[in-house]
Amino acid sequence: MKRQLILIADMEGTSGIFENNVEAIYHGSELWRNIGRQYLTSDVLAVCEAAKEYEIDEILLYDGHYAGDAEFNVILEQLPGNVKVFDTPNRCFYWRRIRGQAESNPFGLITVGQHARNGELDAYFPHTIQTPPIKTLFVNEMHIAEIGQATLSFCGTKYIANIGCNASHKEAREISKNVTCITVKNKATGWEPLPQETYGIIKNGVIEAIKAIDQKDMISISEPCYFSMELTEDYYFDPTEMFPWKGNFTETMATWESPNIEIGLELFNYVRGFIKKKSK
Ligand SMILES: [Zn+2]
């Protein structure tokens, strides 16, 4: 059986990107092109390097930052030959399609470049998928943002490590309490190292995490799934009178129920389609 590692990348939690050079996460900007892409690629390469110590046949990468635009954040030409990318139109997060392209039983999953959810303290660029308009997204009473959506799409796979902003680990641990958490920046302590410094930290952290794979848990969630999404102040839901799923709307809150996580996350996109901005 092919040993396949799933690697899910975002960018707000990348090494070396802080408030003073935030433009580096703005997809398409000059700083993104000159610095941001290289920094994220460095974090991803550190994971690839660690994977080399083990017999990983393939790393399947999803580059989800600024999904909806075809241009990758990670500089693919710099990656080793065993890295392949998920194929979705304009890198959109079609989680069922993403899950379907991976092995039935991947070796494990790692998240990198990760940021905290909206509302977390001492966090670099915290948000939940897109804030505003999304204030919170809950499934079975757990606040999930990008980490939650990505990992829960891989139920049955071991969650090996989360790499990113120190405040992002809270969500990762709620998904899987034994996940290895590797910090590349910490707003609470003001620790803001460059990628050259975090490269070794990530590499060694991932080596240790994979070594301890027997202690890692399979990602799981109970079913059915109960979702709720709340909006920030300037937004409201404007649903059609009839909609073809089990759910309800108030002005700022949507709830829906699904038999499993995949279907619930797919419905999230339809629920999201009813969000409108208040006119002032
Ligand atoms: Zn992002």
User: Using CA atoms, how far apart are residues 242 and 36, in angstroms rounded to an integer?
Assistant: 44
> What is the extent of the structural domain holding 234?
225-277
User: CA angle, corner 13, sides to 276 and 175, nearest 5?
Assistant: 80
Q: What is the pLDDT of residue 174?
A: 97
Nearest to 154 by CA among 1, 7, 2: 7
Q: Is 139 a member of any domain?
A: no
Q: Is 137 a member of any domain?
A: no
Cβ count near 16 (within 10 Å): 22
Q: 89 and 26: one domain? A: yes
Q: What is the pLDDT of residue 190?
A: 97
User: Using CA atoms, how far apart are residues 7 and 126, in angstroms rounded to an integer?
Assistant: 21
> Average pLDDT, stretch 236-260?
96
- Cα of 125 to ligand 1 centre, how many Å? 9
- Cα of 1 to ligand 1 centre, how many Å? 33
Q: Is 164 a member of any domain?
A: yes
Q: 11 and 31: one domain? A: yes
C-alpha radius of gyration, the chain, whole number? 18
- Cα of 244 to ligand 1 centre, how many Å? 30
Q: 254 and 234: one domain? A: yes
Q: Is 153 a member of any domain?
A: yes
Q: Is the pLDDT of residue 280 over 80?
A: no
Q: 72 and 101: one domain? A: yes
Among 215, 237, 269, the domain boundary falls at: 215
Q: 150 and 211: one domain? A: yes
Q: 112 and 194: one domain? A: yes
User: Using CA atoms, how far apart are residues 21 and 36, in angstroms rounded to an integer?
Assistant: 9
- Cα of 39 to ligand 1 centre, how many Å? 14
- Cα of 222 to ligand 1 centre, how many Å? 27
- Cα of 3 to ligand 1 centre, how many Å? 27
Q: Is 141 a member of any domain?
A: no
- Cα of 242 to ligand 1 centre, how many Å? 33
Q: 158 and 251: one domain? A: no
- Cα of 10 to ligand 1 centre, how many Å? 5
- Cα of 221 to ligand 1 centre, how many Å? 24
Q: What is the pLDDT of residue 262?
A: 95
Number of domains the chain is built from: 2
Long-range CB contact pairs, 75-81, < 8 A, 24+: 75/37, 75/38, 75/41, 78/41, 78/45, 79/41, 79/44, 79/45, 79/48, 80/48, 80/52
Q: Is 125 a member of any domain?
A: no
Tens digits of residue pLDDT in 87-121: 999 999 999 999 999 999 999 999 999 999 999 99
Q: What is the pTM of this model?
A: 0.96
- Cα of 61 to ligand 1 centre, how many Å? 15
Tens digits of residue pLDDT in 11-29: 999 999 999 999 999 999 9
Q: What is the pLDDT of residue 1?
A: 79
- Cα of 200 to ligand 1 centre, how many Å? 23
Distances (CA, A) of 252 to 141, 279, 280: 18, 15, 17
Q: 187 and 258: one domain? A: no
